[in-house]
Structure 1
Amino acid sequence: MSEVIITVRGESETRVRAEEAAVRVTVSTDGPTRGPVVERAQERAASVQDGLVAHLRSGEVSEWSSARVSVWSDRPWNNDGAQLPLVHHASVELSATFTDAGALSWWLGDVTESDDVQVTAVEWRLAHETRVRVERKVAASAVQVAVERAAAYAEALGLASVTAVEIADAGLLDRHPDAAMPRMMSARAEAGPSFSLQAPEIVVSATVEGRFRAE
């Protein structure tokens, strides 16, 4: 047995405490008259924005935006099939990135005291610099696992030399790139009544496939 091609897979995973939370809230109002409905939505959204600006200045928010404003009208129907008078609606969607879980909990409790404000999402994640550093470390670890696994196979066959021929993300060696790695799994949270939020751990994983020549 002079040469053998060994194909293996290497995996690695680590957990890192989330550093920031992306939160989205929607201010929604409705009523029989368009002007007051729009005005109330603007006033409530301005109040929410003022809170975000304060947290931005204190360093507890890294960025925020007011991405979408919608105004529309419709005529609802009652149970008897009769069309009711026109109802006007207005909504403003705001998003922010919090870097402090305590500040986020306090802010959510404050803004949701109003029935006009709904929390639509809270997504925990890593800061960009941390994500890049951890993904590189996990990917390198996955490659090392593949190398060690190939070496173990070669040793079992009585071969001493192992040389890498190909290394790729999972699936790419077989031309099925649907499992690209490394992968970061973000944590989503539904805001509860108490809004006592704690940053969860983010799972960062990597899977690679490799072909090695053993002699």
Structure 2
Amino acid sequence: MNDLPVTITVAGHAEREYAPNRCTVALQVHADGATREQAADPVAVAIATVTGLVTELRERPDSPVKRWTFDQVRHTRYRPYNNEGKTLPWRYTSSASITVTFHEFDAVAAFVDRVSGIEAVTVSDLRWWITRKSRQRKLAEVRDLAVQNALDKAKGYTKSLGYNTFRAVAIADPSMLGLPTPPTPYPGGGPVLRSAMRTDMAPASAESGPTFALEPDRIGITADVEARFEAS
């Protein structure tokens, strides 16, 4: 057994996957035409229809919608060119953006199915995420695991020397204790969140509503720390 204390500086790493608790559905409303009315009218009808659907969901006692946003309608025009480079008559476009955030995922598929059938509406994105408070709690859990990983490393390095007492001298974010910063898949060396979404198609039914089910993948949270221990 070695009677002299030794200092070990190690990096700890941990990652865990968690279920998302929010889903934001992003909608794009767009139409164009030879006149301003041909572009604006379908967009106005689509916005009114979507707004009605969202309002219906929001007024439920157990509303699955946490919040929603509506960007103002934009009207533009442009002059296209033909193959010979000559200008053609004006074309008019109208567009708007709508986002709807759900905290009850059972309602997402039905909503996407309904809005997908509205003229001039496109579902541009489904973003599955974790709220800030929930993410901070989960990140704290992963950081604790990263510290434990660092301690396990220190014990592993000194196992053959017979040390059995370890005292933490310093715990720090990556690169703060002078260790080389490992390559990371995210900027700044902070925690990374990863998510994805699977769509499972189901047989069509006249009464069952949507013909698909949305199944979000779990979100990965990663943490890295540096630790210095004194073993004796």
Q: Find the counterpart in structure 1 of residue 206 from structure 2.
A: none
Q: Find the counterpart in structure 2 of residue 185 from structure 1.
A: 194
Q: Find the counterpart in structure 1 of residue 46 from structure 2.
A: 44
Contact map agreement 1:125 1:187 (CA 8 A) in 2: no
Contact map agreement 2:196 2:217 (CA 8 A) in 1: yes
Structure 2: segments with no counterpart, 5+ residues:
182-186, 202-209
Contact map agreement 2:27 2:99 (CA 8 A) in 1: yes
Q: 1:145-160 to 2 correspondence within 5 Å?
A: 145-160=149-164
What does the per-residue CA deviation read over 1:11-38, in whole Å, with 9 as the maximum and x for residues that have no partner? 2222222222111111001111113422
Q: Find the counterpart in structure 1 of residue 16 from structure 2.
A: 14
Residue type matched to 1:82 in 2? Answer: K
How far apart, CA to CA, are the structure 2 residues paired with 1:90 and 1:212?
A: 63
Q: Find the counterpart in structure 1 of residue 92 from structure 2.
A: 88
Residue type matched to 1:145 in 2? Answer: N
Residue type matched to 1:159 in 2? Answer: Y
How far apart, CA to CA, are the structure 2 residues paired with 1:122 and 1:35?
A: 31
Q: 1:112-131 to 2 correspondence within 5 Å?
A: 112-131=116-135
How far apart, CA to CA, are the structure 2 residues paired with 1:214 and 1:85?
A: 81
Residue type matched to 1:179 in 2? Answer: G
Aligned residues: 214
Q: 1:1-215 to 2 correspondence within 5 Å?
A: 2-58=4-60, 59-174=63-178, 178-181=188-191, 183-187=192-196, 194-215=211-232
How far apart, CA to CA, are the structure 2 residues paired with 1:166 and 1:115?
A: 60
Structure 1: segments with no counterpart, 5+ residues:
none
What does the per-residue CA deviation read over 1:175-214, in whole Å, with 9 as the maximum and x for residues that have no partner? 8683123x32233568989542123211122221212222
Residue type matched to 2:84 in 1? Answer: D
TM-score, normalising length from structure 2? Answer: 0.80
SS in 2 for 1:114: coil
How far apart, CA to CA, are the structure 2 residues paired with 1:68 and 1:6?
A: 59
What does the per-residue CA deviation read over 1:38-66, in whole Å, with 9 as the maximum and x for residues that have no partner? 23312211211221122223311100001
Contact map agreement 2:197 2:214 (CA 8 A) in 1: no
How far apart, CA to CA, are the structure 1 residues paired with 2:72 and 2:199?
A: 22
Following superposition, the deviation at residue 80 of structure 1 comes to: 2.9
Contact map agreement 1:171 1:178 (CA 8 A) in 2: no
Contact map agreement 2:42 2:119 (CA 8 A) in 1: no
Greater mean alpha carbon deviation, residues 187-196 or residues 23-32 = 187-196
TM-score, normalising length from structure 1? Answer: 0.86
SS in 1 for 2:55: helix
What does the per-residue CA deviation read over 1:63-86, in whole Å, with 9 as the maximum and x for residues that have no partner? 000135322110111223221100
How far apart, CA to CA, are the structure 2 residues paired with 1:73 and 1:189?
A: 38
Percentage of matched positions with identical amino acids: 29
- RMSD of equivalent CA atoms: 2.6
How far apart, CA to CA, are the structure 1 residues paired with 2:96 and 2:65?
A: 19
